[in-house]
Amino acid sequence: MKSTSRALALTAMVLMSPAAEQVGGMLTAQSAPPSMAMPAMARTTEARRGAGRTLARSSAIGALTGSLMAMSYYWMSEKGERASGCEPMNCALPFLTFSGAVAGLFIGRELDAQRRAMAPRVGTTSSFSFSEASVLAAPNAMDVRDSLIAVVSDSGAQLVSALPAPKALRRRANGLSALRHVVLMPARGSMVLGTGTALWETSVQAGPATRLADGAVDALASFGDAVLSATGRRVRLQTGTGTVARVDSAELAQAVSAVAFDSVGGTWWVATDSQLVQFSGANGTLAATKTALPLPGAARALAFNGDWIAAALGGEGVIVWRRASLTSDMLEVQRVTQEPRFAFDLAFLGDALYVAGGADGLIEMALTPTARVITSSRQLSFVSLVRSSHGVLWVGDRNRSSVVRVVP
């Protein structure tokens, strides 16, 4: 009985140790949406209670396992073996109970750390219905037009049907590798591809690729018959093709990280490490307007709807500007940094903004009355790309090497 009491006392010491309190204090609660969020102190208290329950449960299981091992040794060993310097009930039982409790404590800490890493820091967890199609390799870029999706990877270009049950179609540009960017050109029945060495165009059906320009392509966008590409600090606008093609270019003060066409405003936007610059492309001529928005970091992707302009800033979060304030004296800008931890891409679907958050999943944001995270979905492995088309989202999952049709 004395040995059993010592074992229980040692277990209690582990459960009440400062280490357990410290781990509990390090935890952060999963927040609810702003309209339903608990006060900060209440969230911290709830997090510590949850951590304490996890650690206590793991330590108790470890202590019980150690006790059972000691009891098994006692009942299975011969009587002569028990007459040693460390008898099962007087030595093995307290030692294994204490060791099991300590092992359980550290296992509990690891499990709780994994749980916190997977839990959204703000907003609620959601799920959606989806269907997917496997592609050649982890997708680097994607474009969706009508019923066709073009996906590029280090292994080449792949066409996918943009249908309720997406299906991988033919492979194109077999001679090109390490493709970085792609845009579809429906009017020409082709797609334009950006690699680390040149800008190419090839038919979506068959035939060889044509080199449009030399140099590594750092960003790519299109609208109608026009293609805007970036190489270093220079942007190049090509309108038309063949002998009637018109080419114009402009140079910025810093390297370009993203380009996009704003169909609402009818202008091009070019992002650098510190600015988002608006260009007019009327008559195939690039001309910077007076609008330049400050950026806290390099933008990876841009998105637009009737009311907002948004940029994904990687580890710097997401920044949005209200379109109506661009022409006023008071520029309305908001920034979200809590979730995801890294913003890879983004797209509007109606009034909602969806962000590709990598391992953090697909994030839904609302922008009014203030920009905030509404829900996070962790159903996919690694969301690196997102596009919207005809009321659905198309997502690129890097770890699964797939294109996923998502119905929010």
Q: What is the pLDDT of residue 125?
A: 76
**Contact, 97 vs 89, CB < 8 A?**
no
- Average pLDDT, integer, range 308-317: 96
Structural tokens at position 293: 């928005």
- DSSP per residue, 132-153: EEE-SSS-SEEEEETTEEEEEE
Across all residues in the chain, what is the average pLDDT? 81
pTM, 2 dp: 0.74
What average pLDDT does this structure show over 256-271? Answer: 96
Give the confidence band of 38 by pLDDT, cuts at 50, 70, 90: very low
> Within a 13 Å sphere around the CA of 275, how many CA atoms are in the beta-carbon half?
13
Residue among 204, 234, 203, 205 at smallest CA distance from 217: 234
> What per-residue string of b and e applies to 4-39 under the rule 16 or more CB within 10 Å gives b?
eebbeebbeebbebeebeebbeebebbbeeeeeeee
Residue 200 scores a pLDDT above 60? yes
Note the pLDDT of residue 209.
Answer: 93
- Superfamily for the 129-407 domain: YVTN repeat-like/Quinoprotein amine dehydrogenase (2.130.10.10)
User: What pLDDT does residue 1 have?
Assistant: 44
Paired tokens of 72 = 């098994």
Q: Where are the domains of the chain?
A: 2-28+36-119, 129-407
The helix or strand, by DSSP H or E, that contains position 210, with its residue range, turns out to be strand 210-214
What are the pLDDT digits (tens) for 150-198? 999 998 999 999 999 999 999 998 888 889 999 999 999 999 999 999 9
pLDDT at res. 55: 63
pLDDT at residue number 283: 82
pLDDT at position 334 is 92
Q: CA Rg, the chain, in Å?
A: 29
The per-residue pLDDT for range 47-84, each reduced to its tens digit, is 455 556 666 776 677 667 766 766 666 666 655 555 55
Q: How many residues are listed for the chain in this entry?
A: 408
198-394-296-248 Cα dihedral, nearest 10 degrees: 40
